[in-house]
Amino acid sequence: MSPAARLALFCGMALAVAMPLSAGLASWRGVTNPTQAHIDYMLKCQGCHQPNGAGNAANTPPLTNEVARFLLVPGGREFLGRVPGVASTDLDDARLAELLNWTLYRFDGAHVPADFRPYTAAEIGALRKAPLRLERLETRNRLIAQMEPHPKQ
Ligand code: HEC
């Protein structure tokens, strides 16, 4: 086989391996480095929210099948960037924006709206300057009250 043919074969194989992965992640908007986002989730979030996003009935709400529903009600997008676990985490704005986008797709992709605009570093930077404090529970309850109920199982 000529070197050119060998190169073509190699590239074809590399593409075949890479394609399914990139096709799946292409729909994860605003997540350029999912591996980094996953690591950041493990280090900064899963102690409370659990590796599988299930949370903890005693003190931490589940992300799984829930978190992106906030994007569907007015004020929910801002809430997600201002909730203390997000706003006060020890990551820069760009890494945090990626992590929040990743969290939405990873745990609740089905509720991410088709026209979702991913969080940017600038938006997260502005939101986290006004973190929610004690009023967060009332805000959260008000948002949840506006959500469509989950369909009956
Ligand atoms: C110390 C525990 C803790 C840590 C660490 C934590 N969270 Fe949370 N998170 C909570 C609690 C509790 C709530 C519910 C709102 C509140 O009371 O702050 C919440 C709410 C949220 C929400 C809003 C959804 C909802 O149902 O309220 C998102 C999104 C979220 N967390 C993502 C993250 C991400 C991403 C990280 C890591 C950067 C993180 N959290 C770290 C405890 C935590």
Residue type, 49: H
Q: What distance in Å separates the CA atoms of residue 20 and residue 15, rounded to the nearest whole number?
A: 9
Per residue of the chain (153 residues), give pLDDT as tens.
Answer: 666 666 565 555 555 544 445 445 668 999 999 999 999 999 999 999 999 999 999 999 999 999 999 999 999 999 999 999 999 999 999 999 999 999 999 999 999 999 999 999 999 999 999 999 999 999 999 999 999 998 875
How many whole angstroms from its chain centre is CA 9? 37
Token pair for 151: 């369909």
Measured CA to CA in angstroms, residue 107 lies from 104, 125, 129, 139 at distances of: 6, 23, 26, 22
127 ligand 1 Cβ < 6 A: no
- Separation of 119 CA from ligand 1 center, angstroms? 17
Give the pLDDT score at 27: 86
Q: What distance in Å separates the CA atoms of residue 53 and residue 30, rounded to the nearest whole number?
A: 20
Residue 16 φ/ψ, nearest 5 degrees: -60, -35
36 ligand 1 Cβ < 6 A: no
The model's pTM: 0.87
Q: What distance in Å separates the CA atoms of residue 72 and residue 150, rounded to the nearest whole number?
A: 13
Q: What distance in Å separates the CA atoms of residue 151 and residue 135, rounded to the nearest whole number?
A: 29
Place of tokens 């469509």: 148
Q: What distance in Å separates the CA atoms of residue 147 and residue 138, rounded to the nearest whole number?
A: 15
106 ligand 1 Cβ < 6 A: no
55 ligand 1 Cβ < 6 A: no
Give the pLDDT score at 20: 47
